Structure formats: C-alpha cells, structure tokens
Amino acid sequence: MVNQRLRELKPAVRERIKIVLIPTSRQDMDHLNKNIKNYNLNIEIAQEKPFLDLLHEIKPVLYLSTNSHNVKEAIGAGFGAATMFLGDYDNHSAEVLRVAFDGDGVLFSDESERVYKEKGLQAFFQNERDQEGTSLALGPLRGFFESLVVLQLLFKDRKENSPIHTYLVTSRGPTSPALRALKTFRENSLETNEAFFLNGAPKGPVLKIIKPHIFFDDQKVHVDGALQNGVVGAHVPYEKFNYRSERTQETIQSPCHHNNMSKPEGTERGGQSNSDNTEEKDWAAVKALFDNAKTTKKPRPPKPSNAVTIAVSSRTLFNMVKERKVFEEEGLERYVAHQLELEDQPFTPGVSFPFVKALMNVNARLRELYPDNLTIERFCMTGGESPIGYLKAYMTNLYLSKDSVKVQEAIGEGIAAATMFPSDSENELSDTQLRVAFDGDAVLFSDESEIIVKEHGLDTFFRHEKEFENKPLAQGPLKCFLEALGKLQRKFYAKDQRISCPIRTYLVTARSAASAGARVLKTLRSWGLEVDEALFLAGAPKGPLLQKIRPHIFFDDQMFHIEGAQELGTIAAHVPYGIGQKYHKGKRMETSDAEKK
C-alpha cells in the first residue's frame, strides 16, 4: 500500500519498500510461490544461504520471524529484528500503515533500563534528571524507524498526506524520563506522529484504540498485553537487560510509578509564601470559631492550604432539565410550586455526579489516613444570581456549571471554571479512582502558543516552541486545579500509597511530542507539578483515547474536542478561554458568531 502511494506521487518515486521472504524450508518453494501469486504480493524469495550471510547480503532494516533463535542472532549481528506471535487480531486500516514502538530497549538502548533494574527507581529518576541534557543511544529498531521517517518526508515534501503513522508507546512518566526521550528524537532528527507516556499504565488498552499493524516491545509482558487486545505484538529480545516477565511486579511496574514531586511553586525550604501566611491567619480565625462552638461533634473545616474547594451548580450535580423548562416557560412561582410538589422524589444524577462521587471517595480515603482532615459540608443557594462572591469567599479551586455566562464570569475573576456537557452515551467509570484529563494550551497553560498556530501556522509554531523550549509557558485557567489535585496526591504518597492513589491525572494534548512536547513538560516541572500520563496526539482525535481512559471529567478549550469526547461517552467540560473561542473546527468565526459560541 505504501509502495503504491509512492508510485502515485508527482514526481513519481520508485518503490522504496522491498520485501524479501526467507523460506524456512526449500521444500515449500512451490507452495510459497502459489500463495504469493494468489495474494498478488510483490515479494522476492531469497536464495539459499547460511542465515547470517543472507542477512548481510540483503541488509534488511527489519527482520520478522516466529523463530526466536534467528531473531536473537539477527539482533546480535546488528540488524533490527523481532519475534512474531500467532493470535486473533483486529482488522486494521487498509489506507495507513500504523507502527507502534516501545522506547527503551527498542528505539533507544537499554542504558536507562539497566539503571532501573540494577539500582532501583530512585536511582533511575536521579539518572534521568542528571542526564536530561544527554541523548540516549539508539536501540535495535532505529534503522527501521529512520526508514519510516524518510518515507514520511517524501510525502511531506510533496504536500501529500502520508500513508505512514508512527507511535511511541512507553511506560516512561511525563517528567525527566519523557524529556530525555524527546531530546533523543530531536537530536537524531526523528519525529513520531503520536507519543504516549503511560507512567506504568498497561499498554494494551491504548494499543487497542491505535490499532497498529504491529507493535514492538522488548518486554514480553507488554507484547502479551497487546495480543490480548487484538494487536499484533512483536518481541524485540534485546538480550543485555531483557528481564523475564515472571518478575511481574518489577517488570510490569516499569520506571514510572514512583515519580518524585517537586515542591509547589511559591514555597521555600524552611519558610512560607505570603499567600500561605494569609491563609494561616484565615485558618486560625476559623479554627477559633469552631473551638468555641458548643458542639464538639462537628468536624473541623479543612485548612485552606490543605483543602480543595470545588463548586458545582445544582443543574450539573442533578438532572434538572424538566425543572428548568418549567422555570423558563411558566415562571418562578410555578417553578417553586413544582419543586414542592415533587420534593419527595429524588433527582436523577446530573453530568457532574460521577465526578463528585469520585471526589467523595478520595475524601473517604483521606479521612482514613488523616482523621478529621477533610469533609464536604457546605453548599450555598444563590437563587440564580451570580455566585462569584461566594466562590471567592470559599477560595474555590474549581467551579462547574451548565451556565456558560457564569463560567466566563468566573474565569474573568481568576477562578478555574468550566461549562459541563453531558455525554451522548455512558461509559462505565471507576468507583475507586478519580480520573481527571486536561488539555494543555488554554487550559493548563496560557494560549500564547495557540495564538501562533492560529495566526502564523504550524511551521512557525514549531520554530517558536523550539526557540523557547526552556522558557515556561504562562499558566492557564485550570493550572490551580491540577496543583490542588497534586497536593492531594502527595498526601497519599506520604503514606506510601503512590501506586494505590485514588487520583490519576492525564494530559491529553493535540501537540506533537518531539516538536512541541518538551516545553510543556518543562513548564509543568518548573511549577513543581506533574501528570500521571501525558498523551501527545499530534492532531489526532481525542475522543477514542478518552473513551479508553474513561476520565470522570475532561477539560478542553476547543468545542470540537468537547463534541468528540461527548460522542464517545466522555463527560466533558468546556473552558471558554483564549483565542480558540474565535475559531470553530479550525476556521475563524465572525465576531458575532464567536460571541454566540
């Protein structure tokens, strides 16, 4: 298929992919020839020679076989090779060749994996921080990957859509380990279409969405995970540090589960920021009020520096569509009477209900670890008036509503806020782990880079991001909410519950990894923040991946990403911030249209 597309290019390019069949037995020659003709395959059959002599003559960038001994010999002789496995596989694209690669031991050498296996996680993270400015050596499949990149450039140079799509699917976490991987790509003039830094999460579910024609990994456990999800997995036996899958906890939990969190921005060692001092005074006043109260059974309110305050409107917590219709069509008095008539009938859950339930589970877990520390206890009824004053008084970390006007007002006042949208179908969500997914630009970060994309195009954007890679992006409207979640996560880490932490965060961005990913990761690190998984989709749709992640809520500033999430069952929240509000599906709207959106 790729060869056919190459022939169709103008000017035409001769076939660049040559496939050579190495028979296991010369007695099969007639049968092989018949099958090759039957399937109309353009394949050469190699002459009979000793195996390694034949490889040196053919010089393949990739050798695939079910014979693991031959594969090991090929890798030992410097050829890219992998062992294939039989299985029941899903259907694949007939128009785009999709190839997914692990990083360490496949595209890169196993030098970092060696540190992890021999010295442990802390030594691995320290090594990646120390060596962040140094590229990794390339691994056994570098030649094959480079060949795919060259072919992609042929299509790019002729302004044609490439029929080749590559993916990096790695267990590395999105901090220094990811930055070092991205630096390795850049310094070798390589680019991958999409990159998934999974922080130890299973690869199989992500691969099931990608549906690559083949996935390469040096860990057999990940190959098995691919096979279980209908994906063709190929094992790269990079023998130096290829550890057995029987060591499940050490092998599966690859170098990523125990990332260290830096201190949050604004906090010095041995001291506190001015904002912390103010919060301490507020806390002291509230504490004195509760200490002097008559009852001693009521839990103390959470300390502001430790609490996370999330405000939700009643119409997002409960399904009040019918009640809203009564209010709009029949007026306030009839609305009040209607509510009284049905006061004994519970509302059905609203769009933010699963998110709130997951938050309450986090609260329950925290109370087990820190008795009397946190509680959800306050609500206010504004009668439809602006809630901004209350949001400020409660030092709200996040405000969710179905009223876009109130959400815009909150963002204008510096409060993290988003407009909730129901999903078209319902995905089954975790009862034990709160999962929150964020877009990057104009959500966690400012829209400064997005402005360049919209006004000057992608090439200028890539140059800009490379030039300012070491300059942190300005913060966006939801940075403080990620920061609040990070504080809660560290409470669990302090009790040695990192792996079982009931909070998991995701960065799901349209940015590409090698060209524009490093600045994002360095910005998060400069803030003292991290996410559990970072997914760089290079413009690919977000909906299918979100469907597999199944977050309780996904934040994005672009309505077409919100719609894509909704269609596949993800509860999405629109952040009306930045230049993206002036565009719809990539096209700039007229001023009046933009205001309507």
Work out the average pLDDT over 206-230.
Answer: 92
Whole-number average pLDDT of the chain? 80
Confidence at residue 27, expressed as pLDDT on a 0 to 100 scale: 62
Partners of residue 189 on adjacent β-strands:
none
pLDDT, position 286: 37
Specify which residues 445 forms β-bridges with: 441, 475
The Cα 35–Cα 583 span in angstroms is 53
Single-letter amino acid, residue 165: H
End-to-end CA distance of the chain: 42
Tens-place pLDDT, residues 319-375: 877 887 887 888 878 877 877 787 777 778 887 788 778 777 777 777 787 665 444
8 Å CB contact between 394 and 311: yes
Q: How far apart are CA 355 and CA 553, in angstroms?
A: 7
Residue type, 233: G
Distances in Å between the Cα of 41 and the Cα atoms of 19, 36, 61, 214 are 9, 5, 20, 19
527 pLDDT above the threshold of 90: yes
My answer on whether omega of the bond before 23 falls inside 30° of 0, hence cis, is no
pLDDT, residue 223, reads 94
Cα separation, 597 vs 584, in Å, equals 9
pLDDT in tens, 94-125: 788 899 999 999 999 999 989 988 998 889 98
233 in Cβ contact with 227 (< 8 Å) = yes
- Which pLDDT band holds residue 585 (cuts at 50, 70, 90)? low
> What SS3 state is found at 272?
coil
CA angle 68, 71, 73 (to 5 degrees): 115
Cα distance between residue 165 and residue 152, in whole Å: 8
Q: Answer for the pair 72, 52: CB distance below 8 angstroms, yes or no.
A: no
DSSP annotation of 579 reads G
Of 175-184, 290-299, 328-337, the least confident: 290-299
Distance from C-alpha of 597 to C-alpha of 594, rounded to nearest angstrom? 5
Q: What is the DSSP letter of 297?
A: -
Report how far residue 349's alpha carbon sits from residue 319's, in angstroms, rounded to the nearest whole number. 6
Which tokens in the block code for residue 477? 């409207």
Tell me the average pLDDT across 546-569: 94
Kindly name the residue from 218, 439, 441, 447 that is annotated as catalytic: 439
Write out the two tokens for 4: 């056919």
CB atoms within 10 A of CB 133: 8
Backbone angles phi, psi at 438, to 5 degrees: -125, 140
3-state helix, strand, coil in the chain (%, to 5): 45, 15, 45
Q: Any idea what DSSP says for residue 28?
A: G
* Helical (H) or strand (E) element with 210: helix 204-210
- Rounded Cα gap, residues 436 and 27, in angstroms: 58
Contacts 24+ apart (CB under 8 A), 38-41: none
Closest CA to 225 of 114, 87, 124: 87
Q: Band of the pLDDT at 289, cuts 50, 70, 90?
A: very low
Query: What pLDDT was estimated at residue 138?
Result: 94
439 a catalytic residue: yes
- Tokens, residue 13: 């390019």
C-alpha span between 16 and 300 (Å, rounded): 70
Q: Kindly report which listed range (95-109, 249-263, 392-406) carries the lowest average pLDDT score.
A: 249-263
Rounded to 5°, angle at Cα 89 from 84 and 95: 95
Residues 2 and 8: their CA atoms lie apart, in Å, by 10
pLDDT score recorded for residue 252: 26
Q: Do residues 305 and 276 lie in contact, with contact meaning Cβ atoms separated by under 8 Å? A: yes
The rounded distance, in Å, linking the Cα atoms of 576 and 588 is 15
Q: What is the pLDDT of residues 193-211, one digit of tens each?
A: 999 999 888 999 999 988 9
Taking residues 17-36, what's their average pLDDT?
A: 73
Highest mean pLDDT, choosing among 240-244, 471-475, 592-596: 471-475
The whole-number average pLDDT for the span 65-91 is 86
The rounded percent of the chain whose pLDDT value lies above 90 is: 40
Q: How confident is the model at residue 176 (pLDDT cuts 50, 70, 90)?
A: confident
